[in-house]
Every structure is written in C-alpha cells, then in structure tokens.
Structure 1
C-alpha cells in the first residue's frame, strides 16, 4: 500500500538532529516497511478464513448454524477491501500523530463505560485485552527497545505503549474497529479475531525486528542493551493505569469463556524466557549475570552444581521436614560461589540463568504441594540432576515426554496417595523411589537415558501396586454396593410388611412370623432373584395369603378357597423357614402355632373371628433415618442457595478424584473417591491400596469441603502444573 502521508506530517522530525542522508524519513521508512509486512499477514488471514468457516459449517449441528457460517464467510469476502483500507489508514494516522503530545482519555473513557456495555461489547473487549496481553508477553524486549529508541529519536516526546503505533494495543483496536464494516454475529466475529491473533499478531515479530533495525541503522541507540530497565516512576505509572482495566477484564473473562483464546504451549521455554526478560527489566542487574566477565562453559557450571549438591546432601541427610529443602536456592548459591572465585572469574550466560531460575521455581512449587516429608526429601534431592538435564536439553520445558520430566511426574503421581501416615521404612514403593533417586545421584553423568531407565524401573513397581490396588478396590466397591443394596431392600421389605398389617386384627404369632423370619426370606428372594422374579412374587404372596387366612370368611366361596390353600400355604411356610435355615425347634414351634390357629378357624361356625387377635398400630414406629446433628446445624447457618451450590458441586465430582482429609488430630489422610452409592446418596473413599477409609453422605462431603476439612487434590502432572503456575505468576508480576 502506498503511503499518502503529507510532508508536513513529519516536519517535527527534520530538526531532530538525526541523519537522513537524502533518503525517505526514518518514520516513513518504518511505516512503509511495517505496512508492507502487515499487509502480507492480513492477506494470509483473509485467504485462510474461508477454510475456517467451511470447516465450521461442515461440522454444524443444524442448517441454521451452517447458514450463519456461510453468510459470515460471504460478508467477510465482500467487506475485505474496506476493512483492510480502514485498518491501514488508522495505522498511518498513528504514525502521523506520534509527535503530537496529547492527553489520551480514550482508555479512561472505555474503562468508565465498561459497566454500560452490552454483552457483545464486553466479550469483544475481553478478546482485545487477551490478545494485547499475550502479544506484549510474547515480544516484551522488542517492544521496549522500540519505545526507547522512538523516545530518543522524538525527544522530548516519550513514546510508550499508548502512543507507539506498533504496540499490540493499537494494532488490535484498529483492526477491531475496522471489522465494524462486517455485518456478522458475535460468534463469527470472535472466530475472525481469533484467526487475526493466530495469523497476524503471533507472526508480527518481523515488523518489530525491522523497525529496530531501521532505527539502529539510523544511529539511534545502536548499542542499546537487550535488557532495558524501567524507572520506578514508569512502573508506578503503568501499574496505576492498567490495574483497574486488568481487574475488569479478568472479571469479564471469567464470565465470558466463549471469548477466551487458548494458550500455545509448544514453546514453553521461549515464553518463560520472554517473561523472565520482562521481569528483569524491573530489577537491578545481577552481578553474576550482567557482569562483563566471560561466560562459564557447561562443564564449569556443572562443577559448581556438584559443589552445591554436596552441600545440599548434608542438609538433606539431617532434614526432617520440607523447610530444609525449600532453602535450596540454586540460583542464589551459584551466585555466591561465583562471587567467591578470586581467579578465573566467570559469569552465567542469560539462557542458563533463565534455566536455573525456572528449575528453582519448579522445585519451589513442588515443595509447596503439602507432600509427605519423606517424599519431599527425595524429590528435593533431584533438583541438581534435573537442572543439569534441563541445561543440556531445553526440551525438558517444552515436552512432557522428556525423560527427566516423565520421572518427576511419575514420582508426583506416587505422592498423590502417599499420605503422612505411611511409614517410609516399611513401604515398598517408597523404598523403590529412594533407590531410584540414589542411583541417579550416584551415577548421573550427563546422559538423560538414566532418567528413562529410572522411570521404567519405578513404573514397573507402580503398575504392580496399582494392579493389586484395583483388585482390592473392586472388592471394596462390590462390598459397599452390596451393603447399600441390602439396606435399601430391608427398608423396602419393612415398608411392604407394614403396609400389609397396619390396622388389621391379627394373632400375635402371625405378626411375629411376618416381622421376623418371613422378612428374612423376603430379603433373600429380593437380593438373589430380584423384584421381577417368580420367587419374590410368590414369597410375598405367601404373606398376603397368611394374613387373609386368619380373617373370618364371609361366604361359601371364600370358605372353599380357604380350605384349598391352607395345606399349600402351611407347606410353603415350612419350606421357606427351612430355606433360611431357621432353627428346627423354632420351626416346629412356629408351625404348631399356625396349625392350631387354622384348626380353630376350620372348626368355627360363626362369622366372627374365633382367634385371640390384636389390632396392629405401627403409627409411632415409622422407620426414620437418624438425623446428623452437625449437618442440621450447618444447614441452619447457611443460606439454601449456598447449600444447593455445594450439593451441585459435590454431585459433579468424578470417581478417581483424590482428596486430602484433615482428621481430628490434625493429621492428613489422602483418599480417592472410588464410587458413589446412589441408593444411600453416599460417597466411598479408598486409600492407595484400595481399602475403604471413608464413607460420607453427599451433604457431609459438601459441608466438609465448604469448611476446608476436605480439599480436592490436583492429580495433573506436577511439572505441567508447576510451569503453568510459574507462567501465570510471571505474567501477573508485569505492570
């Protein structure tokens, strides 16, 4: 695109004292080169967006959704030229106005208006904030160099993030504004912006490199260090300016997941390096990093690390808790060793310094995960070997398939179910981890294959234990589900018998028979055969027939039926008692009583009941679940909406999740949720061996989680989690 910037727009730079040598002005050169590169990137975006919407339309769930994607694709094609023209016109205007000192109230106006924005505006604003933040973290050094060189070139004007035409904030906002030409919905707009982020912003490093190179060629701070430190006033100014906006953006981002953009984790080390460089801009220079001494080679660094390892081994051998391990700060120890060198002094180059810092932070994270002290000691001993492995192969940070990383993740997995109550000296798995760690400390010579061999050796033992644990866990689940099924069956049978005898006039022997031995037979039939079986139905029918048989018969038909079923009924009763192994003497006694009362019924000629009966009244004997006083008290303290949310969260828990229980003696117990018993609405937990350790109702677990008596353990790979936390922490430390 040809620039139409008038000559007087760059007049303020003519007297800046910078050499032009008859060539186009420096800013014209930067502007033209930047627009040329960005034009190529934006063209790629428009060329590939068709494929994106075609794929979405192809996988659409219905015709309406498919039509939305096709219409969006059509409108983007039609408006392409207008969007490109608007975007680059805004960029050129920024270059014209870079020399104008003015108070920019745009950000404040946007911040003040955020609460008034509709849902679409909020989601777009969240997307903008996300893209800008990520780009600034991706290229912090290049952007700071450009700001500094522009400020030097345009004195007394200070060029910062808000008025640098090439800052991600300006590029993103201009592009979003240009996209107003589109007549497409929010979802399609967010998809398009995501593609802009991936195809333009993440590849505009060349624009920044070219800009710096042009300024260097013009003699503007050619020796500017790669690390540029901001003054405290700049930091304070930036913090105050963005604190409120970041807070609002984070809140909106949490409530608008559809506008979030995924992180690219393929180059974690590159991301970490950029963040560490940016954070060092805010700090004083380190003696052993920033000195002009020659850099130590890998062999020299490893020699220093061996010295630290020897000192740490003495500390580890006498340590009894995590605090001793947390004191192992390799970066600090290495700095002290370097300062002590009188002859042949060395410094650590920036890349190795970053690796040392990252590994320090990884182990700092690991040792804050409430690990059992014995396991924490073993992990702490691996810090130096792992650091050496990372220095030799930076893939440690970029792939979870690195041998050293796989080993640490495996030990972290082992720690998950290894609680503070385990005795290390007698635990086979602990002894195996200890043997693996000792082998690495003794034999590691730079070959990362030792980590792979150690992982395979440990994995063999872990799988053996898990195989035994799974078998035990299956038995535990079967036992607990069987208990629950039995309890539910007992409640059902009790209720069925109650319904049949409540309010009736029955002989005491019949009541006793139905409430005791025959309930056992009903339970056996229900559990063994099921409710739909003939055995269950016929056993229940015996109870109904017995109750009917001791009632006065009002007519001849009833009397004939009575005469027909009594022999069969009494025979079925005797067979049933024998089936449940009822005591023979008690069986004879029961049958004698039943024959006696039925003989009385047979010889009686009237319509009244000749038997001695009592009226069954079980009103005050309704079966009730015993109330849990603590649970009832907690219910009274919390609002029902809070309780409902807690119960919903507990219902969403997945089996296999590990928990940390704080016992009454303050000791921690680690358990895994193995099954949910629907019949009793309870949750069963097992230890790492598969044996049952806890069983809580849904309400009990909900309130325990709310009161922090129980916490959910993160079972993800420990190094992956450490790197994620480190990146988040470094980003949050930037102004």
Structure 2
C-alpha cells in the first residue's frame, strides 16, 4: 500500500521518532509511547492519498449537483449563484483538488498532534457553541453538524473499529468519536475550507455546505477501512493481544489469513473440556473405558480438586513414565510413518499405553482433542501427502507441548500452534507436481527434524523454528515480487488508459445527454473526440492544461452549433471560429485522424455554421416550442439508455461477489482445457481492481487477467478460491462440533 505523503513532513521530531521505531531493540522500543503515536501520525499521508484518489469523482458529483440546483432553483439569484459555482469548479478542478488535499493533510496532521489531550465532548456541544454571533454562522454550524452526523451514521462500523484501535494505541478504552482525529467532521470542515479558498463569494459557502451530503461527499468508508487495515498490519489488534513485533510476521508471507476466531459457543466448549466438566468420547472404536475406570477417574479428579495443595508421590511418577512412553513412541514411529500414504492420527494409540490409564479426565481430553485435530489435518484435501507425512511426525511433540501448556488451545499466537498453521499454509503453496524437489519441502523437513531431535520441555524451540521458516518464506516473497515488477508496470499502464477512456466517455455522455448536440457531431464526439480526451486524461498529472484545453474545445464546438438568436451571439461565433477550428485540427492531427470522414465532418460543420449565419434572428413561438420539446425528448432518451446500460453492467451474481472478496496473497486453483489444475497466488491487484496478476510461488510464472475474464472463469467453474484460514482454528471447530454447550 502506497502511503507516500502529498506534503512531505519536515518536523524534526517526526524524524527522530522514526529512527526510534526502526532501531532493532525489539518490543520495548516498538511499544513505547512515542512509537505508538508515530504509527498514528503515519496514517495521515495514507488518508490524504486515499482522499486524492477520489477527488476527481467527488468534484464531478459536486459540480453536477450545483448544475442541477441551478436548473431547479426558483429564485433567479440562487440559480445564478449555483451556476457560477458550477462553472468555477469545472474551470478550476485542478486547483480545487490541490486545495482539498492540502486542507485535509493540514487538518489531520493538527488533529493527530493534539488528539491525545482532547476531552470527550458532549454530543449536543460537539458542533454548536456560544461564539456564533450571526445567523449565517449559526446556520453554518448546523449544516456542519448535520453533514457530519449523516456521515458518522453511514460509516459507523469502520469508525467504531478505528475508535477501538486508537484506544489500543493509547493503552486505554476505545475513544469517543469526538476524539477521533479521522472523524467525518474533520473531512467536511477541510473540504468546506478548501471551497472558501477557491470561491471568495460568501454567498456560495453555505450553498456548498448544504450539498456535502453522503451521496455527494467523499466516500469515507474505504478510507477508514484502509486505515484500520494498516493499523492492524502494524500489530494493533481490537482485542487485547497487540503484537507490535508482528508486522513482519507469518501473515505477510503466507496465503491471506481470513479473520477467524472461535465463537463464544466453541470457547465455552473448550473451557468445559479443560475444566473436566465433560469427558470427550474417544473416537477410536478399539478403546473403551470401563465404567469402573471412569468412576475411579472421576473420584480421583474430585479428590485432586479438594486436596490441590497436597503431595501426590505417585502422580509425578505416572506423568514421568507417560512422557517417557511418548518419547519412545516418537522414536519408534518416526521412520515408519514417513513412508505411509494413508494418514491417521496415532494419538488414539497413545491412550492405550499403560501409563495413560491413570491420566486425569483433562489430560485424556487434551490428547483426544489433539487426535481429532490431526484427523482433520490428515483429511484436508488442500494438503499433499508430502506435507502430511511430515506433520505426522509432530503429533507426539505437540501432545507434550499441550499437556504442559494448555495455552496452545486458547492463544492463537502460541509458537507450537503457529508452526502448525504455517505448515498448513505452506502445504497450500507446494506444487503437487514438483513438491518432491521443492526446496521449501526441504526447509520444512529440517524444521521438523529439529523439533523431533531437540525438543524436550522448552517451548522456545518452536519460536526458533517458526522464525527460520518465516525467514525463508520472506526471501521467496521478495524474489517473487521482483519477478512480477514488469507485469505490474504493464498492467498499471493498461489500467490507466482504461480509466482514462471511461472518464472520457463520461465527459462526452453528460454533454450528449442534454439533447442539444447535433446528430453528426454526436457521432464525431463518440468516435473521435473520446480518443482525444482519453489521451488528455492519461497525461493529466503531467499536463493538466491539456485536459482543460480538450474539454474547452469540445464545449466551444457544441456551443458553436447551438441556435444564435441575437446579433451579439453571431458576432461572438464569427470571432471564435478561427481559433476553435485551429485547435480542433491540431487535436485531430495528434490522433492522426486523416480518413475521408474528416473532410466530410468539416464540410458538414461549415454548412451548419453558414446556415446559422443566414437563419432569421426571430423564431416563432411555435418553432421555439418544437425545438425545446425535441431537445427534452432526446435528453430523456439518452438518460434512459445510459440508465439501462449501467443496470446491465451492474450484475451482482455469486461470481462478482467472489472476485470482490479476493485479496492480495490468496491462492486460486485454475483448471485449464486439459483438466489440469494449477495453483497460483494473487500477487497484485490494480488500484481500480480492474486487473489482477497471478503468479507461481517464486514468481517465475505470471499472467494478468481482467476482472471481466476472472468473473467469467468463476461462473464457468474453471477457477476456485483456496480457503486459507488458520488450520488449527478450523480443526478445533471440527473437533468440538459434536459437543453440546
């Protein structure tokens, strides 16, 4: 995600704090107050850039509303005021973009710098105070309150999340929306301030503020969502498990981990399992506890609870003997099961050991629960036999971990649990055809061999091997990103031209929809001038005047063919024609339109201009009415056609939803004509989500596909998304599914 600020920060304090964050001292430096506040300061350029990407669309909506208001206004002064504002924003769109971006950047920077000292404001005092002296000031405050409140309601969900995350940054409860530096009020005030700078006419200030409604204003939801995602990517979590050292963690190099957590019912089941309230039914049909043994175990557990502080000499020896049996079983089966192609959990057999017969209910529950988890893993069709044969060897070490530390089941960041999740995700990455020679499989083998040979009681070993595997995956990810850099640049260029074409089509459509464009001119604009506007939009950042020039030339051309009913209008036409025709020809030369149709177009244009010069100045009321009715009819037909086209384009079937849900890092199976399935990672999504680049894990095979083609493949069933939720989370849900709460 690009977070380059539009206005570079020059604060010395910011630079000093940045160096503090990037020092390798570890968690202490990362979690310091200055580092936490700096994280929030870094969200300002992100928000500013996201606003900048919306400014063109927002400006168009605002200009359209001003024009509509001028057309519908009853009072002439209001109609003129609205039309003048419409013309101002159309002529000075680039200036307006710059003013809005600058005002928002300044406002957010100021808010972030003081927000930690801001007190919660009462709802009724948030916008109104006693400093307003005039009616206009009071009305402005009321309009600001209404606009901000409407945006708060519309964006309630991401705002609540952001309030929570900012509260986590400050190590306190979620803040109030009045303290949130990214609250809608700040954006509304900044946009209004930008307008007041653009237009010195005070009469337009309240007019524009009335129009800043959710349907017209900036779309704040994607901005707030991106800030939330960026904060969580930096280790800030809405729940109480921040990990500021996890920003370069597992999730950055593995398939996207969809947010997943055990629901309250499952959490309650886990608590009951490990409190001894219930005993899991063993899934191995060859093993059944006798009624006497179960009664004996229950009595033993009750005595254990009553005499928790007493010594139990035989208990220690039983545990020691059981762990010794586990170690022997691990050695005995390590070679036997690496060559198996049929996988099943060996943990059911652990419960047959003589030393296991006197384990407590909780200890047996722990082993049975792990047996079910491994049963689920070995039945997972997304994992190949190579990775399963290695995960078989982790069963006994994981049992030893879980019996010593039951946080394995309750804490997602537990190192042993993280290792299982990483291996599950890595199994998705492995190509079934070449897995046996894949270097990743060798790295995984080294990790498991180290766990088997070195693990005794120190769980830190799992943290070490997770770090080793993570480092390897990070190196692969960096190589893959470098490999797709050229396809990304090509896709960006293609999308830029595609978006420019859409903007050009819109520019022409809103003019044709008025019904005032002559038929032959309409064809010319839709076939030739759209090409010119596409080029102008594509170079807008480098040459903003080119777009203004192309739009003005088009507007002048349309105006030149409208009826001229006064001597002054005809004189103005004669005066403008030479310059207009020169510009028109220059633009047509730029797109190399040298076809015979060009001669025919200019011939028709000259005939129309000559006819207008000879036409009578006075038109009869009947003729004026006919012209007005024809124009209104054409405008109505154009708008209806466009509405129908947009409705047809807005298909919202399951395939559309599946593509909309895709995120960078997800893995998809592509089925080719030979029914061969190849797995690719979604390596890149274009800013407008119009094209996607998929690549093999190491980036040596990459291809680009448009959104329309990808949706078509989902509809035909030749592509499927690979679910990459936490493997242990899914396995736990399966293992506890038959337990009644």
TM-score (norm 1): 0.45
Larger radius of gyration between Structure 1 and Structure 2: 1
TM-score (norm 2): 0.44
